[in-house]
């Protein structure tokens, strides 16, 4: 096979493979409908007939059956001999309380903002402009500021996505050397709180805009991080006076995490010896990304570390989630996914030296850099 050709199976005719690709959005939209209706939640205890599901979801029985039959054909739900539909491992991920649930991510990514933007992909290809901005007359971030429900849904989706990769991050990188970590643009705080639970001597600061932090407080308190309005600088300075290696007893959860509001384009809170940015830099073009990184550079100590959690685009024609995610960035924001070499250049412009890229069992890698 020519090295320029993608690696696809020769057992299936190319036209059949192309047909599956072209009709792929049918599956996506069917998943979106099931997620919006919350069907997986109704099947949590036991399989149900389509009539029972229709009653719970206020839907048309024959049409609902066609939806469930189609999804069952791709492994999402399963129909038994008694014509009842039940959960499969794939369908279970659409339950609201499933660990690493994909329900809100499906609703957010396959909903109005993203779906209409992808419908205008050709506009972005022809002009280089952001499709969402073109159809909405504003940036995605301004849209979320003006539409609290859409913003909440998006953040719930990102929280669910974070939950699905947390274990991969924690098992791939050793955070024990740090006193205080700052989760920049950390949303609902799932990343920082998971690290603090795994590393009892580490303290954390969740940094994000005020509206997002308001959404985060109840979740933090439910996990035992009951001091969301504490003084971050005081906490960080206290943490920097002690070293995890000295055997200090772990502090109670309620005293180990606080939140600080701010805009990372203006400044980032000081006091951490590690600054974490998960799926932040890929949202922005080089100029804005460098501005964020420079603010982290200014805030951190001289020997501080920067940790980016991003998808790295591999070379060549190999299949890559990142290459498709990059198209999503094209239509939704002015950001893009980057190669390792592009991250190295970006970091240098912000005053960092890339030290290592650590793959994880998930779709993202840990990009470690030192302040220079």
Cβ atoms of 266 and 295 closer than 8 Å: yes
Residue 182 predicted with pLDDT over 70: yes
* Active site (catalytic) residues: 282
Please report the pLDDT score of residue 8 as a whole number.
54
CA dist., res. 163 & res. 99, Å (int): 7
Q: What is the mean pLDDT of residues 243-248?
A: 42
In this model, does residue 240 exceed pLDDT 80?
no
pLDDT at 2 over 60: no
Parallel, antiparallel, or unpaired for β 84-86 and 48-49? antiparallel
Report pLDDT for 239: 39
pLDDT digits (tens, 9 = 90+) for 266-286: 999 998 999 999 999 999 999
For the cut 80, the answer to whether the pLDDT of residue 365 exceeds it is yes
Range of weakest confidence among 197-206, 213-222, 290-299: 213-222
- What is the token pair recorded at 360? 């994880």
Structure tokens at 6: 């993608």
More confident residue, 58 or 114: 58
Other CB atoms within 10 Å distance of the CB of residue 279 = 20
**102, 303 in Cβ contact below 8 A?**
no
Contact between 283 and 329 (Cβ < 8 Å): yes
Provide the pLDDT for residue 233.
41
The whole-chain average pLDDT of the chain stands at 89
Instruction: Please work out, in degrees rounded to the nearest 5, the angle formed at the alpha carbon of residue 335 by the alpha carbons of 369 and 313.
Output: 60
- Alpha carbons within 13 angstroms on the beta-carbon side of residue 316 total 8
Cβ atoms within 10 A of the Cβ of 246, count? 7
How far, CA to CA in Å, does 364 sit from each of 168, 241, 276, 361?
9, 33, 14, 8
pLDDT of residue 69 exceeding 90, the answer is yes
- Residue 361: DSSP 8-state: S
- Is pTM beyond 0.85 here? no
pLDDT tens-place string over residues 35-61: 999 999 999 999 999 999 999 999 999
Range of weakest confidence among 90-104, 181-195, 213-227, 312-326: 213-227
In the predicted model, is pLDDT for residue 249 greater than 70? no
* 141/129 Cα distance (integer angstroms): 16
Work out the pLDDT band at 255, boundaries 50, 70, 90: confident
**The pLDDT of residue 64:** 98
Look at residue 154 in the predicted model and tell me its pLDDT: 84
Q: How far is CA 139 from the centre of its chain?
A: 19
pLDDT classification of 158: cutoffs 50, 70, 90: confident
Output DSSP code: residue 266. Answer: T
Cα–Cα distance measured from residue 77 to residue 40, given in angstroms and rounded to the nearest whole number: 8
Give the pLDDT band of residue 152 (cuts 50, 70, 90). Answer: confident
Higher pLDDT, 40 or 250: 40
Q: Which residue has the higher pLDDT, 165 or 232?
A: 165
The predicted model gives 138-153 an average pLDDT of: 89
pLDDT exceeds 50 at position 137: yes
- Asked whether residue 27 carries a pLDDT value surpassing 70, the answer given is yes
Question: What is d(CA 135, CA 130) in angstroms, rounded to the nearest whole number?
Answer: 9
Please, what sign has the CA dihedral across residues 40, 41, 45, 46?
negative
What are 75-93's pLDDT values in tens digits? 999 999 999 999 999 999 9
pLDDT at 234: 44
- Residue 76 · residue 82 · CB < 8 Å: no
Residue 44 is predicted with a pLDDT of 95
DSSP string, 274-328: EEEEES-GGGS-HHHHHHHHHHHHHHS-TT-EEEEEEPBPPSTT---HHHHHHHH
Give the Cα separation of 243 and 228 in Å (integer): 23
Mean pLDDT of 195-201: 94
Q: Which range, of 119-133, 227-241, 317-331, averages the lowest pLDDT? A: 227-241
Taking the C-alpha atoms of residue 351 and residue 361, their distance in angstroms, rounded to an integer, is 29
Reduced to 3 states, what is the DSSP secondary structure of residue 58?
Answer: coil
The pLDDT of residue 244 is 41
Q: What is the separation of C-alpha 120 from the centre of its chain, rounded to a whole number of angstroms?
A: 23
Over residues 217-229, the mean pLDDT reads 68
pLDDT number for residue 37: 98
């Amino acid at each position: 096979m020519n090295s320029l050709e993608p690696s696809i199976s020769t057992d299936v005719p190319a036209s059949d493979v192309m047909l599956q690709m072209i009709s792929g959005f049918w599956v996506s939209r069917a998943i979106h409908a099931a997620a919006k209706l919350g069907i997986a939640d109704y099947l949590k205890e036991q399989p149900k007939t389509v009539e029972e599901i229709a009653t719970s979801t206020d839907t048309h029985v024959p049409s609902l059956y066609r939806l469930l039959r189609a999804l069952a054909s791709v492994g999402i739900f399963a129909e038994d001999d008694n014509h009842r539909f039940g959960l499969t491992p794939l369908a279970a991920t659409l339950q609201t309380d499933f660990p690493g649930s994909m329900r809100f991510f499906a609703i957010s990514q396959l909903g109005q903002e993203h779906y209409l933007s992808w419908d205008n992909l050709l506009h972005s290809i022809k002009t280089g402009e952001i499709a969402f901005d073109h159809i909405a007359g504003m940036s995605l971030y301004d849209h979320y500021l003006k539409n609290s429900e859409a913003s909440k849904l998006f953040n719930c989706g990102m929280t669910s996505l974070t939950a699905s990769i947390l274990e991969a991050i924690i098992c791939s990188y050793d955070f024990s050397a740090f006193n205080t970590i700052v989760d920049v643009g950390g949303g609902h705080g799932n990343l920082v709180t998971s690290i603090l639970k795994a590393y009892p001597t580490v303290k954390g600061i969740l940094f994000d805009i005020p509206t997002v932090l308001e959404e985060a407080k109840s979740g933090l308190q439910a996990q035992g991080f009951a001091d969301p309005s504490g003084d971050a600088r005081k906490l960080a300075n206290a943490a920097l006076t002690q070293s995890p290696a000295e055997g200090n007893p772990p502090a109670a959860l309620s005293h180990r995490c606080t939140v600080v509001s701010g805009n990372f384009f203006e400044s980032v809170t000081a006091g951490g010896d590690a600054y974490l940015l998960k799926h932040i830099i890929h949202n922005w073009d080089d100029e804005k990304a460098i501005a964020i990184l420079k603010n982290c550079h200014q805030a951190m100590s001289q020997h501080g570390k920067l940790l980016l959690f991003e998808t790295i685009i591999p070379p060549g024609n190999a299949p890559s989630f990142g290459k498709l995610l990059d198209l999503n960035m094209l239509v939704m924001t002015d950001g893009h996914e980057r190669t390792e070499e592009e991250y190295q250049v970006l970091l240098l412009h912000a005053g960092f030296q890339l030290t290592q890229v650590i793959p994880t069992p998930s779709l993202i890698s840990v990009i470690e850099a030192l302040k220079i």
